[in-house]
Amino acid sequence: MELSEFVDRLDAELRIDDYAELDASANGLQVGPDDGTVDHVAVAVDGVEATFERAIDADADVLVTHHGISWGGFDRVTGRTYDRLEPLVANDLALYVSHLPLDGHQELGNAAGVADVLGLEDRSPFGELGPEYIGQRGTAADAYSIDDLRERLQTALETGGQPVQTLAFGPDEIEEIAIVTGSGTDWLDEAVDAGADALITGEGKQKAYHEAREAGVHVVLAGHYATETFGVRALQGLVEEWGLETTYLEEPTGL
């Protein structure tokens, strides 16, 4: 497949342009030639030296990640920026990135993947960001206790051996669940307004403790990395349907 066609397909599926004014990440093709072909695609959560080297070792043509290397552009390509770019350019490895578009995709996205794990029904977009959404909410088929919810996530997610943390201030029976992966406690008020019993996200902020306690809602902190593996794995399945070879690169941070 031509690289340009590969990029166009992903751009369209993920609605990259709709998030252009909302996201600090330069979504889409961040590093790559104007032409080229793609036979082998590697996917990973983070675009960093470790995943670049592993993608090169796997002889991939393009690496698709959730977190890229351009957050508002570069002033200079020196130091750490040069060290990250150099193996990509030297080995003709293209880098494609989808940050918020992959969080918000209601079928392939990170929040959708967490909702799948929990078996949520009656799903709808959640986590407003301008005119778009970066999460999902739904109803548990059978109510969870906070311990059952934590155990389910602990078992299913790639937490790097770290425990799933809970701010257990909500009801005994958890039915309505809101999800914003990564760093999502800023959407706690929206979760409360939506009638959620629990907000699931990756990492927390200090203020979330008292906000959750005062609102009487659970907050589950399942790990930034751990909650954001689902999107790239879903993209892996998508590009396999296009007839391309794929490799998943797991580099858990435990954070």
Q: Does any domain span residue 253?
A: no
Whether residues 115 and 215 share a domain: the answer is yes
Whether residues 192 and 83 share a domain: the answer is no
Whether residues 141 and 173 share a domain: the answer is yes
105 annotated ligand binder: no
Please identify every stretch of the chain with a pLDDT value under 50, giving residue numbers as ranges.
none
Q: Does any domain span residue 36?
A: yes
Whether residues 22 and 74 share a domain: the answer is yes
Whether residues 215 and 129 share a domain: the answer is yes
Q: What local confidence, expressed as pLDDT, does residue 20 receive? A: 93
Q: Does any domain span residue 121?
A: yes
Burial 183-196 (b: 16+ CB within 10 A, else e): ebbebbebbbeeeb
Q: What local confidence, expressed as pLDDT, does residue 59 receive? A: 97
Backbone angles phi, psi at 19, to 5 degrees: -105, 5
Phi-psi region of 92 (alpha: psi -120 to 50; beta: other; left: phi over 0): left
Statement: the pTM of the whole predicted model exceeds 0.85: yes
Instruction: Report d(CA 43, CA 37) in Å as an integer.
Output: 17
Q: What local confidence, expressed as pLDDT, does residue 137 receive? A: 98
66 annotated ligand binder: yes
Q: What local confidence, expressed as pLDDT, does residue 77 receive? A: 82
* Domain of residue 37, CATH code: 3.40.1390.30
Q: What is the pLDDT of residues 213-234, one digit of tens each?
A: 999 999 999 999 999 999 999 9
Q: At what angle do helices 230-241 and 110-118 cross, to 10 degrees?
A: 100
Whether residues 223 and 237 share a domain: the answer is no
99 annotated ligand binder: no
Q: What local confidence, expressed as pLDDT, does residue 192 receive? A: 97
Whether residues 147 and 219 share a domain: the answer is yes
Whether residues 81 and 131 share a domain: the answer is no
Whether residues 129 and 41 share a domain: the answer is no
Q: Does any domain span residue 156?
A: yes
Q: Does any domain span residue 255?
A: no
Largest CA distance in the chain: 56
Q: What local confidence, expressed as pLDDT, does residue 71 receive? A: 87
Q: What local confidence, expressed as pLDDT, does residue 174 receive? A: 98
Q: What local confidence, expressed as pLDDT, does residue 215 receive? A: 97
180: which residues sit within 8 A by CB, 6+ positions away? 103, 111, 126, 127, 134, 135, 187, 199, 200, 201
Cβ contact 110:227 at 8 Å: yes
Task: Find the domain containing 120 and state its range.
Answer: 103-227
Whether residues 58 and 37 share a domain: the answer is yes
Q: What local confidence, expressed as pLDDT, does residue 66 receive? A: 98
Q: What local confidence, expressed as pLDDT, does residue 75 receive? A: 75
Q: Does any domain span residue 254?
A: no
Whether residues 223 and 114 share a domain: the answer is yes
67 annotated ligand binder: yes
218 annotated ligand binder: no
Q: What local confidence, expressed as pLDDT, does residue 35 receive? A: 86
Whether residues 83 and 199 share a domain: the answer is no
Work out how many domains the chain is built from and give that number. Answer: 2
Q: What is the DSSP letter of 25?
A: B
